[in-house]
Structure 1
């Protein structure tokens, strides 16, 4: 499932490989953008991806986020066995915020 939207003037592109992103997960992504926008003056785009790696019992969930800001883009990724994407999304959001704080 892929979807694109304009959220508060930010181009949001979400990609998920063989997964459906629920409305509650979409709301979590928007909440993460709200949190990130407090640490960046201008955000042009946010790309988020969700995917599974591995097979059988060794499946790992992966969440990645690229935040397009003036200058170099900020990217973070996290992997985990947790079935809940929300935990991984929060971790990625925190990593992006730390990078944005270093850029200031």
Structure 2
């Protein structure tokens, strides 16, 4: 599904399940957190899927940020969607300084 958050076009794709309002809120919250560090984001593509059978680390998040120049990409995993989103956003933030 495509959403518009503070003039940022966000495309949220879930594989094998439907997003819930709570999950959408988590994604939006993490995007707003990332926006504090980078003001020129124009698009965000978030892909969520459950990988494997290990419930301790089966949530996989792939995140692409559209910015002027080269886009940024990060992948994160965790036991929950919030943990996977945070893992990916921390990796994106490390790319901001490069």
TM class by smaller structure: 0.7 to 0.9
Residue equivalent to 2:33: 35
Query: What TM-score does the superposition give when structure 2 sets the normalisation length?
Result: 0.87
Alpha-carbon shift at residue 41 of structure 1 (Å)? 2.6
Q: Give the Cα separation in 2 of the matches to 1:38 and 1:86.
A: 18
Q: Give the number of the structure whose alpha-carbon radius of gyration is greater.
A: 1
Q: Give the Cα separation in 2 of the matches to 1:24 and 1:61.
A: 16
Q: Which blocks of at least 5 consecutive residues in structure 2 are unaligned? A: none
Alpha-carbon shift at residue 58 of structure 1 (Å)? 4.9
Residue equivalent to 1:24: 22
Counterpart selection for 2:91 from 80, 84, 95: 95
Q: Give the Cα separation in 2 of the matches to 1:67 and 1:47.
A: 6
Q: Give the Cα separation in 1 of the matches to 2:33 and 2:59.
A: 23
CA shift digits 1:4-25 (9 cap, x unpaired): 0111100000001111221111
When the two chains are superposed, the root-mean-square deviation of aligned CA atoms in Å is 1.5
Residue equivalent to 1:44: 42
Aligned residues: 96
